[in-house]
Amino acid sequence: MMYVRDDVKKRLCEVRRLIFDFDGVLIQSLHSFRKNIIKVVDYYFLEILGLKGRPHLLIDLEDVQRFKDTGWFNNDWNLTYAAILYHLSTVFRKLVENGVYEKVKRKLQKLEFTNLRDFLLELKTIGIELNRRNISVDDLATDKKSSKFGLESFLELCESGDPEHIKRALVRFFPEPRVKNLELASKMIPYDAYRPDLLRRLFEESFLGGKLFRKFYQETPFFNFKESFMEREEFIPTSETLEVLVEKTGKLAIYSERSRKQAIYHLKRKGFLRYFEPEYLVFIEDISAREKELRRAGVRASLSKPDPTLFLELVKKCASKGFVAYVGDSVSDLLMVNNARKRGADNVYFFGVLSSSQYKERLTNRYMELGADIITYDVNELAVVFRDICGGG
């Protein structure tokens, strides 16, 4: 698949900077982050709560793509949180249906996250109660397909991937009293971007494996996963591709919600850091730092994609003249560019790649609907487009 809008062909050689997303564009994430989402959701329900059932029923790669296609779930922590909390709403409905809600509710009211070990023991006792009431993973997976409480119904209500918005979308999935039950369910999966929690700790340990978790976080792993999804990640562009793109547009930039340490680790290991301008690299730490600043000023805001605030700052910083192109792999990437244009950045193109999606035709259609300027299979094919239109090596 290669698509280039006619008017873009005429101005492609005027692009003065390429800004890349990291996951799915520079690094193949289909078999790392996306599979880790599935692993973490399964681990929470099958291992931590100890429910009976089979893996891969609660969420699969197609479900992950459904989340991504909304444009709200670029952040995989948020996506994983949404998936777990969604299935917990089914747990609460089952408790009411089985007439055992009050007994479990008393346990949940006492639940507090003080330290990881004690908290997991408390969750295990709650899981024992759920097993006694014959609430299984199969039950949760069945409700995922229902017309009233199905996953599609939840995703249609989502207007943001921010945890508070996720909870607002999910409240109607809980039995009465809905708000209080949502609060109790939230206590079962502590998630905080700024303080110790269960969601991020489990996700990061599972993704990195014990060795890399220790390296990046300087902490002893608690779960001690042996397997590392990150170690299996492969770089997508070749050195020849990056040489061509640097020749055409100058040193490259990155705007990504990946961890800076992890991204630099990959770039150094491959020997590709030299193709990127250090001043033009924005990662999740930068986004989180700005959110903290706003919180201190009394403003609660999510600056994750598709919010364009920090992206616009990067555009102004790295290309004051000419055109800029953002190379992304998801609907949220394209929505961010469209939002940047709405704020006056009429010099920004969107180049969409397909290589990280399991459902390439579906993603292509969404790109076309939302006005992508170029669509290629991957970054290597993008270099071919530049060579064909702008000439040179």
DSSP 10-57: HHGGGEEEEEE-SBTTTB--TTTHHHHHHHHHHIIIIIIS---S-TTS
Q: Edge-to-edge strand order for the sheet containing 323-328?
A: 2-4, 374-376, 348-353, 323-328, 15-20, 252-255, 276-282
**Does the domain made of 2-29+233-390 have the CATH classification 3.40.50.1000?**
yes
Q: Residue 29's pLDDT is what? A: 83
The C-alpha atoms of residue 202 and residue 76 are separated, in whole angstroms, by: 12
Q: Residue 39's pLDDT is what? A: 97
Strand, helix or coil at 375?
Answer: strand
**CB atoms closer than 10 angstroms to residue 231:** 11
Per-residue pLDDT of the chain (393 residues; tens, 9 = 90+): 789 999 999 999 999 999 999 999 999 988 899 999 999 999 999 999 999 999 999 999 999 989 998 999 989 999 999 999 999 999 999 998 877 788 888 888 888 998 999 999 999 999 998 998 889 999 999 999 888 999 999 999 999 989 999 999 999 999 999 999 999 999 999 999 788 999 999 999 999 999 999 999 999 999 989 899 999 999 999 999 999 999 999 999 999 999 999 999 999 999 999 999 999 999 999 999 999 999 899 998 889 999 999 999 999 999 877 899 999 999 999 999 999 999 999 999 999 999 988 889 999 999 999 999 999 999 999 999 999 999 865
Q: Residue 393's pLDDT is what? A: 58
Q: Residue 30's pLDDT is what? A: 80
Q: Residue 322's pLDDT is what? A: 82
Q: Are strands 276-282 and 252-255 parallel, antiparallel or unpaired?
A: parallel
Q: Residue 46's pLDDT is what? A: 98
Residues 101-138 as b or e (16 or more Cβ within 10 Å = b): beebeeebeeeebeebeebbebbeebbebbeebebbbe
Whether 209 contacts 231, CB under 8 Å: yes
Q: Residue 99's pLDDT is what? A: 79
Q: Where are the domains of the chain?
A: 2-29+233-390, 33-217
